[in-house]
Structure 1
Amino acid sequence: MVNSVSTSSRTSADPPGSAASGCGPAFSPLYQQIKTLLIRSLQAGEWRPGEAIPSEVELAGRYKVSQGTVRKAIDEMATENLLVRRQGKGTFVATHAEEQVQYRFLRLMPDSPQDAGPVTREFLDCKRMRAPADVARALELKSGDAVVLVRRVLNFAGRPVVLDEIWLPGSLFRGLTAERLSEYRGPMYGFFETEYGVRMILAEEKIRAVAADESVAKILHVDAGSPLLSVERLSRTYDNKPVELRFGLYQTHAHYYRNELS
């Protein structure tokens, strides 16, 4: 068994300088090199969201490594919600249409069962505009590049709880409208995935307490000056590329923010 990925296993999805080309970092563990190649294939669209990837045996033959090495790479990708294992069926590309990943970045939990009713959404606005300086900087755009601004309210059990201001790169989301968003029955990230080929892989958040101004208070049905939780989220796709900047205001009268630390 070889100790590095053979150049003969390089595919059209493997970029110059990748592990498969023999120019990858020598210190990278072999399973990490395989993981990099698998992610490149996902990024290139070789396997679409919801589709099965080749078996471990097939991938081991493709990359000329052991099945155990492939399994370790896939295990790590499954932990990161890039892939989903299904007993007796194989391994599939994770999709935001999966029930367990809907609202995967939303960490707001109800205090009691009666507050855990269905989540509905209302889109207030969707417009294209020039990127403000701070938005362009966060999304790694040039000053003045086109962006799409989406404003929406999430209602929990019929009550407005979250007001989101969502900024997206205009070049990736051409033709996006509030009507199209409203017509899509699944989660918004699922819509981005199926209609625009943009998949949110990971996110980082900044959280602070703020007071509701009059316009926000009216939308969330609270008094002006009421405490809100401000959550600024930057979501990224493959290659750590930022593709969404979101400013959320959470009304936590009957909800709390929950996160797991390890």
Structure 2
Amino acid sequence: MSNSPTIIPVIAPPPAGFGAAPTFSPLYQQIKALITGSLQAGEWKPGELIPSEVELAARFKVSQGTVRKAIDELSAENLVVRRQGKGTFVATHHEVRAQFRFLRLMPDAGEAHQADNQIIEVKRQRAPADVARLLDIKPADAVIFIKRVQSFDGAPTILEELWLPGLIFRGLTAERLVEYKGPMYGLFETEFGTRMIRATEKIRAVHADHIATGLLNVSVDTPLLSVERVSFTYGDKPVEVRRGLYLTDRHHYQNELS
């Protein structure tokens, strides 16, 4: 019997990515990405009619069915709006249907309607560290800070603080916010070329502090909903941090899950 040691060959693992199966996105997803790129580049403005499915199919040299599937997903993501007999339009925050998409506070009785806004403060400042992290900017970068109260039927209901990247929203002033009568996201879309595409929210129950008591006309320790929202534009770029305190004695927070 041999006393020589048994030699076990060692096979080095292949380099990372070597031999990995390539990934391919379906054709309609590629067309969706191309259309989204055109939306982001401003080829078709918010509210404008985009080319028909036939025209887009010819442009991208694919079938009309492929384009239709891409448009279906863009519609489901609220990037475009289909109108029967008229065509497909770029979605806009100026549409009535879009004005409550990001505001989920609904009245217990009656129809939802736009709030009256009271601008408390607007200033340019350095981004707080936690806000900078959420906006993916440097803490030393400038942000526009907005503080406002939203009232429904004369009753203060929402106290909000917003932070917006100063580079994108340069020139946004309290005077402009006061004189503008439409939805705030409509102003951002029209005058600053920034459309909110989606948002994430964190919600928790809190008690009113001394600042909230004065602005919402409630007593200390009144239960409120604290809502932190980060809104994103094309390319999943964060462009707004919004923190609100919601009074829910006559409202409720409503969402749809699917």
Corresponding residue to 1:151 among 124, 147, 154: 147
- Partner residue, 2:161: 165
SS of residue matched to 1:85: strand
Matches of 2:239 and 2:138, distance apart in 1:
14
SS of residue matched to 1:172: coil
Query: Residues 171-225 of structure 1: CA distance to partner in whole angstroms, max 9, x if unpaired?
Result: 0001101110111111000000000000000000000011111111110011011
User: Moved runs in structure 1, 4+ residues, more than 3 A?
Assistant: 115-118
Pair 1:94-2:95 in alignment: no
Corresponding residue to 1:81 among 70, 74, 78: 78
Query: Residues 85-143 of structure 1: CA distance to partner in whole angstroms, max 9, x if unpaired?
Result: 11111111000001100132111111122x85652111111100000100110000012
Count of residues in correspondence between the two structures: 237
Matches of 1:111 and 1:57, distance apart in 2:
45
- Partner residue, 1:7: none
Pair 1:120-2:108 in alignment: no
SS of residue matched to 1:163: strand
Bigger Rg over Cα = 2
More displaced stretch, 70-79 vs 117-126: 117-126
> What letter matches 2:121 in structure 1?
D
Percent identical across equivalent pairs?
66
Matches of 2:100 and 2:125, distance apart in 1:
26
- Partner residue, 1:9: none
More displaced stretch, 133-142 vs 116-125: 116-125
Matches of 1:88 and 1:26, distance apart in 2:
38
SS of residue matched to 2:34: helix
SS of residue matched to 1:208: strand
**Contact 1:43/1:238 (CA < 8 Å) preserved in 2?**
yes
**Contact 1:118/1:157 (CA < 8 Å) preserved in 2?**
no
- Partner residue, 1:180: 176
* Cα 1:127–1:37 shift into 2, 3 Å: same
- Partner residue, 2:11: none
Pair 1:48-2:48 in alignment: no
Corresponding residue to 1:32 among 22, 29, 45: 29
> What letter matches 2:147 in structure 1?
R
Q: When the two structures are superposed, what TM-score results if normalisation uses the length of structure 2?
A: 0.89
Q: CA deviation at 1:257?
A: 0.6
Matches of 2:162 and 2:25, distance apart in 1:
36
> What letter matches 1:159 in structure 2?
A
- Partner residue, 2:60: 63
**Contact 1:116/1:156 (CA < 8 Å) preserved in 2?**
no
Pair 1:232-2:225 in alignment: no
**Contact 1:103/1:187 (CA < 8 Å) preserved in 2?**
no
SS of residue matched to 1:253: coil
- Partner residue, 1:111: 108
Across the aligned residues of Structure 1 and Structure 2, the Cα RMSD in angstroms comes to 1.2
- Consecutive unaligned residues of structure 2, counting only runs of 5 or more, are 1-21
* Cα 1:148–1:165 shift into 2, 3 Å: same
> What letter matches 2:125 in structure 1?
M
- Partner residue, 1:243: 239
**Contact 1:109/1:256 (CA < 8 Å) preserved in 2?**
yes
**Contact 1:117/1:157 (CA < 8 Å) preserved in 2?**
no
Q: When the two structures are superposed, what TM-score results if normalisation uses the length of structure 1?
A: 0.88
- Partner residue, 1:131: 127
Q: CA deviation at 1:26?
A: 4.5
- Consecutive unaligned residues of structure 1, counting only runs of 5 or more, are 1-24
